[in-house]
Amino acid sequence: MACLETSFLVDILRGNKEAHFLMQSTENKGDNITIAAPAVMELISGAQLNHIPKERERINKLITHSLILPLNEESAIIAGEIGAQLVIQGETIDAVDIMIGAIAKHNNETLITRNKKHFEKIPGLKIESY
């Protein structure tokens, strides 16, 4: 099972060849494709802030064909634990990235991201990068 992170989704939308190859490879393996709800928020926010109506249409098409994983009680608790542990260790990453990582971890998903540097700070999170 593969959870697509925002940086990967942006690369898909922009036609990045490495991202498309990894997406095809993931689909060919028969992996279920999911997206964490906070990644959807980031995509929509970016399209709105940059005033790109066609981008919004492409995002809607992409998310319509994917299972969106919510930030539920269990994944919110995991996110809180991750956030606290990172602060204790003197590390920080964006709260949205913590939520995305926690959702992927809670659902036993491999997170597919270009932003490996941030997500490798989350213990026990399976990551695939390109």
The torsion defined by the Cα of 113, 119, 124 and 125, in degrees rounded to 10, comes to -20
Note the CATH number of domain 2-128. Answer: 3.40.50.1010
Look at residue 18 and tell me whether its pLDDT is greater than 80: yes
Per residue in 78-108, pLDDT (tens digit) is 999 999 999 999 999 999 999 999 999 999 9
pTM of this prediction exceeds 0.85: yes
Look at residue 51 and tell me whether its pLDDT is greater than 90: no
100: number of Cβ within 10 Å: 34
Q: Give CA–CA dist 5/93, Å, rounded.
A: 14
pLDDT at 52: 76
Spans of all domains in the chain: 2-128
For residue 23, what are its two tokens? 């997406």
Q: How large is the average pLDDT for residues 26-46?
A: 93
Q: Give CA–CA dist 93/79, Å, rounded.
A: 12
Q: Give CA–CA dist 128/90, Å, rounded.
A: 25
Average pLDDT, the chain: 94
SS3 content of the chain, % helix, strand, coil (to 5): 60, 10, 30
Look at residue 50 and tell me whether its pLDDT is greater than 90: no
